[in-house]
Amino acid sequence: MPIEYLKKADITSQTDSAETREIVQNILNGIEAGGEDAAREYAAKFDKYDGNVVITREEIEAAAAKVPQKLKDDIQFAHDNVRRFAEGQLNSLQDFDMELNPGFTAGQKAIPVRAAGCYVPGGRYSHIASAIMTATTARVAGVETVSVCSPPRPGVGVHPAIIYTADLCGADHIIAMGGVQGVAAMAFGLFGMPEADVLAGPGNQFVAEAKRILFGRVGIDMFAGPTDSLVLADGKADAEIVAADLVGQAEHGYNSPVWLVTDNRELAEKVMARVPDLISTLPETNRENAAAAWRDYAEVILCADREEMAATSDDYAPEHLTVQTDDLDWWLGRLKCYGSLFLGEETTVSYGDKASGTNHVLPTSGAARYTGGLSVHKFLKIVTWQQATREASRDVAIASARISRLEGMEGHARTSDVRLAKYFPGENFDLSAED
């Protein structure tokens, strides 16, 4: 039977805007032309901040003194988990070489990029965890220079906990600048930073658009839209926990979709009845975001069985995917499209967002169909190399020359010809593309 929508979204989340793109492009052009002075002007306009841009060692130490020890311990716990997981990722990628033919060797090397720029949001929420996820991962990958940029608060500066965390995680530069101007500063190498080879980290639509425009000139972690989450639950799931998990993700923003996919109508109805009550108890800003997200973007989908549930989930390709069902091993083996997977009631998206060790910079808007989230691999270039004896180059040269001529690339063919003539004088080779 076809899936049944018990709740259907009224609005489809949009990630592209011609107006946003024009605004961002103009800011990037202005900063590239005007340098640090232009970046400061935009910071004064948008951040409402005219204080020190480059955080000094004295300011880092002063910020650290303002962070309570309990929070420092929590940050250290999260940092250790993220670092260990990133180290595991790094160890899973090995350099290698192999002899393809006798005397002809080819290999692979993973080389870290030289400079990474990490954006850490600090507007509506102070994203301490984003500093951990980005700077730690870049440092474990072996990046030479890691820069962190975060928006300051008017008359105050960057949140002390963000400064403390960025320093703990190995940032070489910490810059008090947000939005497009912050991204531009890292990309263009302003305020003593080297030009970033890779930009990473979440942000609002202007930050996301700046990264999109700069992609190609620099690498980026991914194209990002509003965060989204999907819960797969069967009749044995706890409706209270399912509802809490949906609300917990809906508070990200007014346009953050949350989806429930289930094969049990009674569970769905309990969750739908409970969500508004849970939203009503949130603090005001969180409540407004969650209420709008639930009203306009949330969906509840009833399926016939677990295979239809899994297929529906793969179609949505959610950023975060929670499974609260029996037989978790089946789901781990069956599910194909997600940014990060949370198996069982005993874990939840907020664990991954904050402290469990997996990265929270993840693909949104269905991008999990073709990519995963931020990892050490985003800061590594996988390059290849080859070396051959003269004898080993013989057959490769003959094949390359013929293929090149078939393609009409005579110059390519002659680079093979000249080697054959030098290494094997007096021998005649059939190097034409014709039979």
Contact yes or no for 123/178 (Cβ under 8 A): yes
Tokens 């204080």: give the residue.
51
Helix/strand/coil (H/E/C) assignment for every residue in 53-73:
CECCHHHHHHHHHHCCHHHHH
Q: Which of 79, 127, 159, 320 is catalytic?
A: 320
The angle, 0 to 180 degrees and rounded to 10, between the axes of the packed helices 160-168 and 57-66 is 110
Assess whether 319 carries a catalytic annotation. yes
Q: What is the spatial distance between Cα 207 and Cα 184, in angstroms, rounded to a whole number?
A: 10
Tokens 């269905």: give the residue.
366
User: What is the C-alpha R_g of the chain?
Assistant: 26
Q: Is residue 202 classed as helix, strand or coil in its secondary structure?
A: coil
Q: What is the spatial distance between Cα 188 and Cα 94, in angstroms, rounded to a whole number?
A: 32
Q: What is the spatial distance between Cα 229 and Cα 339, in angstroms, rounded to a whole number?
A: 10
Contact yes or no for 139/170 (Cβ under 8 A): yes
Neighbours of 422 (CB within 10 A): 9
Q: DSSP string of 398-424?
A: HHHHHHHHHTT-HHHHHHHHHHHHHHS
Q: Which of 59, 209, 251, 319 is catalytic?
A: 319
147 closest CA partner among 188, 111, 110: 188
128 closest CA partner among 360, 333, 345, 376: 360
Assess whether 299 carries a catalytic annotation. no
**How many angstroms separate the Cα of 276 from the Cα of each of 250, 288, 429?**
11, 11, 79
Residues paired with residue 7 on neighbouring β-strands, in sequence order: 300
Catalytic residues, which ones? 319-320
